[in-house]
Amino acid sequence: MEKKAPQKQLIYGIHAVQEAIESGKQFERIYILKTDKGAALMDLNAQIKANRLPVHHVPIHKLNRLTRSNHQGVVAYLSLIPNVVIDEIITRTFEAGEHPKILVLDGITDVRNFGALSRSALAFGFHAVVVPNKGSALLHEDAVKASAGALMKIPVAKVINLSRSLEEMKGFGLKIIGITEKGTESIRKLSINEPVAMVLGNEETGLHENSLALCEATYRIDISEEIDSLNVSVAGAIAMFQASN
């Protein structure tokens, strides 16, 4: 029996992207030439908007870096990992008699950090990872490799509006907690015996203001004065370990 070829993640060209949309493929990200006003690309833009797909309008040199082939002004990444609806994950977890534990990554852009955090989430019993559609690391082969395969096992929900998603999680009864160096409580005081969504912020700027405003508690990891900060994947692993005890 012939071995089935793996799904191609990078596609390019107007027709190829249109076909993928019409066949119901899930997209990780679509890049379109921002200066082109041609009818074909305008039609594709309208199709992308109608399907609420993640799109970035970029200069020509960005597209040329992604592929040397004739891209016709559009390059896209198909999803390697199916997108899940976080409401369904939370509901199923409650129905199983468990408290949902959700990891929320607010602007993690490095694929290695993303992969490492996903692996820690799986290791410490978290039920899903939530990320915004825009401003996050691409879930491509490097992220899966960095997670050592964990991203193929833990559900990932990509949401259009992270603040709205956090508000919906609060509506389900989840407590929103933030891990930040400006946290009001030491991580040593973190004890989880209720449904929770743990939010980690960008590698450089930390939690966005909107996410921070929705947190009901914030925790810091106390470290030596000789060190400015911990890598976000290390900080996340410490926080998730503490939350699992």
Work out the average pLDDT over 87-98.
96
DSSP string, 43-56: HHHHHHHHTT--EE
> Mean pLDDT score of the chain, rounded to an integer?
90
Same-domain check for residues 71 and 95: no
Work out the average pLDDT over 61-71.
92
**CATH number (domain holding residue 216):** 3.40.1280.10
Q: By percentage, how much of the chain surpasses pLDDT 90?
A: 64
Give the DSSP H or E segment for 241. helix 232-243
DSSP string, 40-93: HHHHHHHHHHHTT--EEEE-HHHHHHH-SS--TTEEEEE-SS-B--HHHHHHHH
Residue 168 belongs to some domain of the structure: yes
Domain stops at, among 56, 78, 100: 78
Residue 209 belongs to some domain of the structure: yes
Same-domain check for residues 69 and 143: no
Residue 148 has pLDDT above 60, yes or no: yes
Distance (Å, whole) CA 142 – CA 162:
24
Position 33 scores a pLDDT of 92
Residue 75 has pLDDT above 90, yes or no: yes
Domain stops at, among 23, 53, 78: 78
What is the DSSP secondary structure assignment for residue 7, as one 8-state letter?
P
Position 1 scores a pLDDT of 35
Same-domain check for residues 144 and 185: yes
Give the torsion sign (CA, 155, 157, 162, 168).
Answer: negative
Residue 212 belongs to some domain of the structure: yes
**CATH number (domain holding residue 50):** 3.30.1330.30
Same-domain check for residues 156 and 69: no
Same-domain check for residues 112 and 206: yes
SS3 177: strand
Domain stops at, among 78, 103, 120: 78
Parent domain of 34: 10-78
Distance (Å, whole) CA 238 – CA 221:
8
> Residue 158 — left, alpha, or beta (φ > 0 → left; ψ -120 to 50 → alpha)?
beta
Same-domain check for residues 91 and 70: no
Q: How many residues does the chain have?
A: 245
Chain position carrying tokens 């890049």: 31
Q: How many domains does the chain have?
A: 2
Burial (Cβ within 10 Å: 0-12, 13-18, ≥19) of residue 234: middle
Residue 60 belongs to some domain of the structure: yes
pLDDT classification of 8: cutoffs 50, 70, 90:
low
Distance (Å, whole) CA 180 – CA 119:
20
Distance (Å, whole) CA 169 – CA 181:
24
Same-domain check for residues 68 and 96: no
Residue 4 belongs to some domain of the structure: no
> Residue 187 — left, alpha, or beta (φ > 0 → left; ψ -120 to 50 → alpha)?
alpha
The residue among 138 and 163 whose pLDDT is bigger is 163
Amino acid at 196: V
Work out the average pLDDT over 124-142.
88
Same-domain check for residues 182 and 93: yes
Same-domain check for residues 132 and 161: yes
